[in-house]
Every structure is written in C-alpha cells, then in structure tokens.
C-alpha cells in the first residue's frame, strides 16, 4: 500500500541545510498499526508529513496504492489526501463556532457532489462510532479534551479513508483520556482494517501499536514488531 525508497528531505534554512530525512526505506501493508517514535528532531514528523502527502520529498520514491506521489503537483497530492488519508492532530483543530456535527461534515464539503442530507448521515454515523452520538450539537467549548479529540477522529474518518494518521494525538490529554483515545484507535484498526500510523513521544501510546519504527537523526534505525527491541534502540540513542 505504502512504499518509500531512498527518500530524503532537505530543508534550506538560509545558508544552512538540514537533512530531515536520510534515505528512508519503509513499506506498509493495508491494516497495519504503526507507531513512529524518536527524540525531538529525529525526523518522525517529517516522515509523517511525507506519508500524509503534506510535503514532497527532496529525492527518492514514494508510492501510495500504486501511485507515485513524489512527482505529483500540489493539487494532485491534495486530491490523494482527501480521498485516502484522514488526519488527527494534537491540538484537535476544530472550528470553535460550529457544532461537532458541522465540524465532522466539513471534509465532505470538499469531496464533490454530496447532498446535505448525506453529509449529515455520514457525520452522525462517525460521531456515533466514536461514542458521541449524543453530542452532535455541542460546540468544542462544551466538550472535554477527550471528546474534542473524538470529534477530530470522526472528522478524519468521514471520507472513509484507507489510512488514519495521528500526529501526537494524545499530546494534550491526561493519561486516562489518552488510554481511551488509543483504545479507540486500536478498535478502529481491528474492526475496519484501516491502516493507523501515529507519531508519538509517549511510550505508553507506542506500545499499543503492532509495529514500531524508531527514527534518529533523520534515519530509520529500527523497524520491528517487538516493542522491547524498539525501546532498547530508542534508549540507546539517548545514552550516546
């Protein structure tokens, strides 16, 4: 489903060049649940932005469902994002003056000729799926942090994406609420075979994934289904 080969990302900051990704290699099959971990500046968010078609690699190949992404125009990448990928962010990114229902409907406004009745039906379905069927008309200020993140997850799911991506999705939540949100990610992965890819600094979040990718200094240094192995590699990097 996802295949990146020799992907590099270089940022030019004035006269300084920063190698944010170095010759990254990664394959992801449909239905996997992956955590991307590593210290600050390791390249995990850059990798997420690349996989999510938010950014284009400087060099290398990125194929998503057989399509080469690295040479696409911005408009074509936006089309792919809207069709195949749902995003969940640390800060929820909800519109404060609109209801939960309207927030979830929003991506459907960009999806083409979908009637208002169908938009509402899909939004209600996804909000019910994440346990907020009784909070349709509540605004973000009327919801807890965990509930806001559930709205954000429902919004990410409303276009029926093949991939759900989260960038520190529990970063603004307390430990109990974090566990509830991560449990929801796992349930979604197991019952619908949606591919889940999360960037996290939280070891408790990462250990719930079925596969862990560790990054350091822009490179992938470990890719394993053994969480303890990933943890050892991560800790060895801090000790160097």
Q: In 3D, which of 197, 172, 171, 170 has the Cα closest to residue 181?
A: 170
Q: Residue 238 has what pLDDT?
A: 61
Q: Is 190 helix (H, G, I), strand (E, B) or coil?
A: helix
Q: Give residues with Cβ within 8 angstroms of 232, minimum separation 6.
A: none
Which domain does 93 fall in, by range? 2-239
Query: Beta strands of 81-224 (E only): which ranges?
Result: 85-89, 163-167, 195-199, 211-216, 219-224
Q: Residue 15 has what pLDDT?
A: 85
Q: Residue 60 has what pLDDT?
A: 97
Q: Residue 154 has what pLDDT?
A: 97
Q: Residue 239 has what pLDDT?
A: 55
Instruction: List, for the chain, all residue ranges whose pLDDT scores fall below the cut of 70.
Output: 238-240
Query: Beta strands of 90-189 (E only): which ranges?
Result: 163-167
Q: Residue 180 has what pLDDT?
A: 93
Q: Is 32 left (phi over 0), alpha (psi -120 to 50) or beta?
A: beta
Q: Residue 14 has what pLDDT?
A: 84
Q: Are strands 67-68 and 59-64 parallel, antiparallel or unpaired?
A: antiparallel
Total count of domains within the chain? 1
- Say how many Å lie between the first and final Cα of the chain, rounded: 35
Q: In 3D, which of 115, 113, 144 has the Cα closest to residue 131?
A: 144
Burial (CB count within 10 angstroms: exposed 0-12, middle 13-18, buried 19+), residue 87: buried
Q: Is 139 helix (H, G, I), strand (E, B) or coil?
A: coil
Q: Residue 218 has what pLDDT?
A: 95
CATH code of the domain covering residue 83: 3.40.50.300
Q: In 3D, which of 41, 1, 44 has the Cα closest to residue 24?
A: 44
Q: What is the pLDDT of residues 175-199, one digit of tens each?
A: 999 999 999 999 999 988 899 999 9
Q: What is the pLDDT of residues 76-87, one digit of tens each?
A: 999 899 889 999
DSSP H helices, 97-144, are: 100-109, 116-129
């Amino acid at each position: 489903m996802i295949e990146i080969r020799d992907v590099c990302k270089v940022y030019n900051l004035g006269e300084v060049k920063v190698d944010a990704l170095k010759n990254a290699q990664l394959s992801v099959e449909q239905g996997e649940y992956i955590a991307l971990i590593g210290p600050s500046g390791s390249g995990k968010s850059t990798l997420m932005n690349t996989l999510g078609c938010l950014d284009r690699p400087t060099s290398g190949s990125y194929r998503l469902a057989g399509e080469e992404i690295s040479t696409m125009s911005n408009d074509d990448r936006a089309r792919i994002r809207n069709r195949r990928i749902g995003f969940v962010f640390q800060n929820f990114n909800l519109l404060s003056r609109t209801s939960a229902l309207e927030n979830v409907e929003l991506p459907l406004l960009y999806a083409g000729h979908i009637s208002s009745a169908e938009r509402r039906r899909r939004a209600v379905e996804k909000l019910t799926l994440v346990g907020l069927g009784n909070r349709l008309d509540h605004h973000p200020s009327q919801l807890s942090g965990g509930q806001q993140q559930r709205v954000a997850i429902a919004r990410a799911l409303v276009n029926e994406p093949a991939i759900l991506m989260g960038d520190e999705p529990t970063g603004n939540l307390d430990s109990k609420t974090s566990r509830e949100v991560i449990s929801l990610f796992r349930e979604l992965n197991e019952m619908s075979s949606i591919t889940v890819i999360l960037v996290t600094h939280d070891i408790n979040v990462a250990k719930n994934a079925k596969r862990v990718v560790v990054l350091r200094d822009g490179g992938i240094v470990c890719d394993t289904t053994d969480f303890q192995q990933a943890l050892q590699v991560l800790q060895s990097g801090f000790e160097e």
